[in-house]
Structure 1
């Protein structure tokens, strides 16, 4: 009863503190009461993977209120970022949102560590997960302050990072039944055996199994990863005009299938230096298909326009959770495959170096000495 009164009072306070926010039954509200938050602090709401602001407001009397549309914004990771009047970033706070209910955030802006979403199991799990790496912070600081040479530091640092990832994976297995945990699991499933993925999947409740992410994980479990020397695995995805394209549409031609994303710097470098060159030189002998692992169409479109992807460019907008990427064993970006006219995967290229290995292998297929 006490929690209900606390909720009700906080909602009333926040709803009255910002006059330009209209109530709308189609909106979800984020209600903030943060001690020590100065008046006129700019608060911006964004969703992970999208640079566009969802909403913004200014704080007043240590309170703020933000809104997003129920039917437009999907469940996922959100960011609240606080700025001074001059535009300097003060603090960024992430939380799991998108559920069909209002969110209440409170805490102390001076300490910041205790800023949290009230009465939210999924966000309690997220908060605990975020501190998993902290126990290694002092050791990592000591490492970089030591007199060891840079190569030795890098090797030790990598070991710490590998240990942190193992701890994070263990945490996910111990806390499987939240939407955040399931979503985060996709970051690591390339490092986890299919048997272990099945154990994780079986630990989910029925609602999570029936969710979009649950269905994607099931598809990964049922899928078989392709190997070099095998026939390509067909798939379909949409181009930016909304037209479906299948890989099999191009059987009979030599194909470069390239996986990329807007956040991958080296993907854009490779696009500019290598694929543009190959597309021009071998335009009658080669089809380049860029498969985006972005999640937002606007982000994908802007990146395409900025970096001039002038060949086939498709996506299912599922990000790293895409079953197609899983089938093809995509771990790092850029990640490309050379497919011959018979549809057989001939070579795999992970990362990008300036000496064009793809062209050398392409010349072999074209019988160019």
Structure 2
């Protein structure tokens, strides 16, 4: 046991003392975490684990280097520390107890010291929290029969309009920081494109060339795909690690299916509709190609095997909200499919509520 604790202590010391030049260090002291607990550093933007370490005497540490600041949180097997805080290439100190950190409404940004991005995030949160709280109080009135569901919906629409107005004003007044540009990306389908362009024009060259700035630029410069447009090529890997291109299948009518293993309607559609489609059009010049927005390879692999996907299925394992593929295809929800002609033209965008088989019948001139 002594050897194990010594090894643990040495590991933490190495992490604490090996700060890369211009990198970050996190030094956390969180009462209530047991010795040898594994702590994972979770990237809230990509939904991937950045690193892991172990606890000794309530303390743990991380060190590394980021290209751009990211929202992160800590996860253990026993506790999920819900709130994100912004990690940047600075020395971050955190002192707290595990009980409040496990509550969903805790403001973790207040407990971390050293991140300038957090200061902006805190000011925004303090500005918008009262608006969100008002919505919550109104919602509680439904169960007490003080207001009807219809009356709440009317209030909620007005409340959301207030959130949009207040948020946009805040971002325009506080443009050159990573929190604002990250949130502008999250609001990209809510704000008029002209407003997002106005915000982008305020950015410094450094911010425009950041990973978030490039994504926003892609969104602003990308015209939503319409019928008759050329498809945008996608390059990613399948589960075997082989590089797949959507353009590899040009020359056939392609059903480009966007899905994920965590998406219940996606799984339902593939399970219930795709077998019929495959059988019905087996003699046609037809190819299904699926692109997954899973971020966990294991979840993608398990779902693909369970569904017995026998057609090309690839992914870049990036979160849908910040995925360039989602930006290029103007995706806000899945399942969504695109029917692409043999010449590579977009024939139809098919949402989940649409009749996919009926749309394919039109392409192949099949009449029931």
Q: TM-score, normalised by structure 1?
A: 0.76
What is the CA-CA distance between 1:244 and the residue it aligns to? 4.0
Corresponding position: 1:105 with 2:104: no
Q: Which residue in 1 is equivalent to 2:72?
A: 78
Compared with structure 1, are the counterparts of its residues 151 and 325 closer, same or farther at alpha carbon in structure 2 (3 Å cutoff)?
A: same
Q: Which residue in 1 is equivalent to 2:54?
A: 57
CA distance in 2, matches of 1:210, 1:329: 22
Q: Which residue in 1 is equivalent to 2:310?
A: 310
Give per-residue Cα distances to partners, 1:83-139, cap 9 Å, x unaligned: 7xxx3x475331122x44432123566765474221321012223334424433144
Question: Where do 1:127-166 residues align within 5 Å?
Answer: 127-131=122-126, 132-146=128-142, 147=145, 148-166=147-165
What is the CA-CA distance between 1:19 and the residue it aligns to? 5.4
Paired residue secondary structure (1:287) = strand
Conserved 8 A contact 1:45-1:81: yes
For residue 28 of structure 2, the aligned residue among 25, 32, 45 is 32
The CA RMSD over aligned residues, in Å, is: 3.4
What is the CA-CA distance between 1:56 and the residue it aligns to? 4.5
**What residue ranges of structure 2 are gaps of 5+ in the alignment?**
1-7, 101-105
Q: Please, which moves more after superposition, 255-264 or 104-113?
A: 104-113
Paired residue secondary structure (1:320) = helix
Corresponding position: 1:183 with 2:174: no
Conserved 8 A contact 2:338-2:347: yes
Conserved 8 A contact 1:18-1:64: no
Q: Please, which moves more after superposition, 100-109 or 181-190?
A: 100-109
Compared with structure 1, are the counterparts of its residues 155 and 284 closer, same or farther at alpha carbon in structure 2 (3 Å cutoff)?
A: farther
Conserved 8 A contact 1:264-1:333: yes
Q: Which residue in 2 is equivalent to 1:92?
A: 82
Q: Which residue in 2 is equivalent to 1:116?
A: 111
Q: Please, which moves more after superposition, 196-205 or 357-366?
A: 196-205
Q: Which residue in 2 is equivalent to 1:66?
A: 61
What is the CA-CA distance between 1:304 and the residue it aligns to? 3.8
How many residue pairs were aligned? 339
What is the CA-CA distance between 1:149 and the residue it aligns to? 3.5
Q: Which residue in 2 is equivalent to 1:367?
A: 365
CA distance in 1, matches of 2:75, 2:191: 33
CA distance in 2, matches of 1:75, 1:136: 26
Q: Which residue in 2 is equivalent to 1:4?
A: none
Q: Which residue in 2 is equivalent to 1:248?
A: 247
Question: Where do 1:267-346 residues align within 5 Å?
Answer: 267-285=266-284, 286-294=286-294, 300-301=300-301, 303-305=303-305, 307-318=307-318, 319-346=320-347
For residue 125 of structure 1, the aligned residue among 103, 120, 123 is 120
**What residue ranges of structure 1 are gaps of 5+ in the alignment?**
1-16
Conserved 8 A contact 2:48-2:296: no
CA distance in 2, matches of 1:124, 1:292: 35
CA distance in 1, matches of 2:190, 2:217: 17
Q: TM-score, normalised by structure 2?
A: 0.76
What is the CA-CA distance between 1:238 and the residue it aligns to? 1.3
What is the CA-CA distance between 1:289 and the residue it aligns to? 1.9
Q: Which residue in 2 is equivalent to 1:9?
A: none
What is the CA-CA distance between 1:331 and the residue it aligns to? 2.2
